[in-house]
Amino acid sequence: MKRSNVKIMRGLLRFMNGMYGYMSLAILLGVIGFLCSILLTLWASMMLLTLLGFSFSLSFMTCSVLLLVMAFVRGFLRYGEQACNHYIAFHLLAQIREQVFAALRKLCPAKLEGKGKGDLIAVITADIELLEVFYAHTLSPIAIAFFVSLVLVILFYQFHPLFALWAFASYVIVGIVLPMRISKMTKDIGMRQRQASGALSSFVLDRLRGLQEVLQYQQQQPLLWTLKERFVELNTLDEQFKKASGKAMGMTNVCIMTLSMGIFVLGAFLYEQQIISFAQVLLAFILLFSSFGPVVALANLGTTLQQTFAAGERVLSLLEETPQVEEVHAGKWVSGSEMQVDHICFAYEEEMILKDVSLQVPFGKTIGLYGRSGCGKSTLLKLLMRFWDVEQGKILLGDVDVKKINTKALRQKQSYMTQETHLFHDTLFENIRIAKADATAEEVIAACKKAHIHEHICSLPKGYDTMASELGDSLSGGEKQRIGLARAFLHDAPLLFLDEPTSNLDSLNEAKILLALAQDEQKRSVVLVSHRASTMKLADTIINVEKGWKPCEQ
Ligand SMILES: Nc1ncnc2c1ncn2[C@@H]1O[C@H](COP(=O)(O)OP(=O)(O)OP(=O)(O)O)[C@@H](O)[C@H]1O
């Protein structure tokens, strides 16, 4: 459910701890700075009026000196205010980014499986960046506008109480009523714009990944049309937003002119009644006209704030999303390496995928799973890894429920090779070493030899230093698969889960890999999913998933 702007603000203010000192300094410098610039105009006007024959308590000379000092000081004050605001903003953005990455790690992999990756990228990059507007250009300007307006109303009171009343009403109109009205005008456009931009990122990323399919099935033209449609949609929203901003700016200027003229008319009336002098009328008009700066900053926020709040909503939602599986930090460390699946049931959504499944994974044995596509083999491996939690029944490692085992300990005990090996934008060496951060070069090479990919890597011009992205699609499915296996071998865990490890290999490489696995059989338990009968020969027990997860005769 979409939360209110006040709730979003409260959520974003949570991050402000430790920054209130800088914020107070920014407000102080901002208030003095704005007063300096308003007084600059006032003294300059007094100097002009002195030349025209009016007399004031301050002499022409004093005004000139004050003018110079104020102009000089104003620059430093403005710099100080902006420095404080941006220190706060960028410090907090770094903190928020850190928290978002921590949240993503917790949500991974279950909650992220169905999410658009492009949209996530938009949240991590553009949306967080937009929060700078809130921390650097929203909080202190509100306080500055309040204090500056207060001082000015007191100043107007020195001229005449009616002037003070008029000034108060003017600041409320430009600084509160207008921003609220503008905010209402741009309501929803900000959120729709952020969502459309996230959806477009997701769409482009998705189609780039499937570029080969697009080319093969000649989908270029429909893809271009769809892209065009989405750009048009985003442009329309941008246009609506810009129109609303322009309208808001126009409304603000009209208000300022009308209110300034109003004080002039009021002054003329008081002058006619001989209550104040003509110089006071002029000065009150100039003072009001030149003092809208801080409240105009708030009026301008009316449009940008909607986008900022939309970005804030998306960032806060991501931070508050509850993970499908809670990581265990203060749980148990187990010594055993055999696993037991005990009458488990599991459904991703409505449809039950695994119903009352039980099986044993004894140490030193290989369990083979086979059955039609979609019957839940990979799902069982994900449950063994505790990427998802079972709804009924238990999965035990040793004799401890996996839900009670420290997640770190569980990860150390298990290696999981998925159907698709993802290569990061890094060297092949580092790509393999992610399986064991402190692995030596010898260990990496040994794992690659076992996975029969060492020779291929050595044949590349830069060997293990070849960047994975340079290879792109030129790395065959089988080669990628063997890199995945090298990772699993390097991790060297007592439990190894292999999901179609040989599906892309030729018979020769398959035989070599199976031999390597067979040689290690006494060291670990293996759960092997495969559609290949030749690979299944490795298994000590073969389980037919479709026939009630029962071992079948070999
Ligand atoms: N994250 C998910 N959310 C919803 N449904 C899912 C998710 N992952 C898998 N499924 C569905 O669960 C069912 C079992 O999928 P699973 O990948 O376990 O099958 P499988 O037996 O390993 O198939 P294959 O042999 O093709 O790899 C499928 O119908 C699949 O569409």
Among 320, 354, 373, where does a domain finish?
Answer: 320
- CA-closest residue to ligand 1 atom 1: 113
Give 102 Cα–ligand 1 centroid separation in angstroms.
Answer: 27
Rounded to the nearest angstrom, the distance between the alpha carbon of 548 and the centre of ligand 1 is 17
Q: How far is the CA of 390 from the centre of ligand 1 (A)?
A: 15
d(CA 75, CA 107): 47
**Pairwise CA distance, residues 291 & 263, whole Å:** 13
Give CA–CA dist 294/475, Å, rounded: 59
CATH of the domain at 344: 3.40.50.300
**Strand, coil or helix: 186:** coil
Clarify whether residues 500 and 439 are in a common domain: yes
**Could you list the residue range(s) of the whole structural domain that residue 429 is in?**
339-551
Same domain, yes or no: 379 and 437: yes
Cβ of residue 420 lying under 6 Å from some atom of ligand 1 = no
- The finding on whether 375 has its CB within 6 A of some atom of ligand 1 is yes
310 and 345 within one domain: no
Tell whether 67 is covered by a domain. Answer: no
In a domain, 325, yes or no: no
pLDDT digit string, tens, across residues 438-484: 999 999 999 999 888 999 999 999 999 998 875 556 678 888 889 99
For residue 138, report the distance from its CA to the centre of ligand 1, in Å.
Answer: 47
Which of 111, 189, 190 has its CA nearest to residue 387?
111
| C-alpha 375 – ligand 1 centre gap (Å) | 7
- Ligand 1 pocket, residue 374 CB under 6 Å: yes
Cβ 376 under 6 angstroms from ligand 1: yes
Determine the residue of 377, 391, 420, 544 to mutate for testing ligand 1's pocket, defined as the one with the most ligand atoms within 8 A of the Cβ atom.
377
Are 551 and 543 contacting, i.e. CB atoms less than 8 angstroms apart?
Answer: yes
Longest alpha-carbon distance in the chain: 115
Domain co-membership, 360 together with 504: yes
* 113 Cβ closer than 6 Å to some ligand 1 atom: yes
The 3-class secondary structure across 425-491, one letter per residue, is: CCEHHHHHHCCCCCCCHHHHHHHHHHCCCHHHHHHCCCHHHCEHHHHHHHCCHHHHHHHHHHHHHHH
Same domain, 241 and 354: no
Question: Are 297 and 370 within one domain?
Answer: no
Instruction: Identify whether residues 316 and 364 lie together within a single domain.
Output: no
Of all protein residues, whose CA lies closest to atom 4 belonging to ligand 1?
A: 348
Cα of 373 from ligand 1 centre, angstroms: 8
Residue 313 and residue 459 share a domain: no
Question: 332 in a domain, yes or no?
Answer: no
Does 328 map to a domain?
A: no
| 347 CA distance to ligand 1 middle (Å) | 10
Q: Whose CA is nearest to atom 20 of ligand 1?
A: 374
Digit-by-digit pLDDT tens for the chain (554 residues) are: 677 888 898 999 988 888 899 999 999 999 999 999 888 888 888 888 888 887 777 778 888 888 888 888 989 999 999 999 999 998 999 999 999 988 888 887 776 776 667 778 888 888 898 888 888 888 899 999 999 999 999 999 998 999 999 999 999 999 999 888 887 777 678 778 878 887 888 888 888 878 888 888 888 899 999 999 999 999 998 898 888 888 888 999 999 999 999 999 999 999 999 899 888 898 899 999 989 989 988 877 777 777 788 889 989 988 988 888 888 888 777 887 889 999 999 998 888 889 999 999 998 889 999 888 888 899 999 999 999 999 899 999 988 999 999 988 898 899 999 888 888 888 999 999 999 989 999 999 999 998 889 999 999 999 999 988 755 566 788 888 899 999 999 998 999 999 998 888 888 888 888 888 888 777 889 999 988 888 888 898 999 887 777 777 65
- Total domain count, the chain: 2
Co-location of 352 and 484 in the same domain: yes
Atom 3 (ligand 1) nearest CA:
348
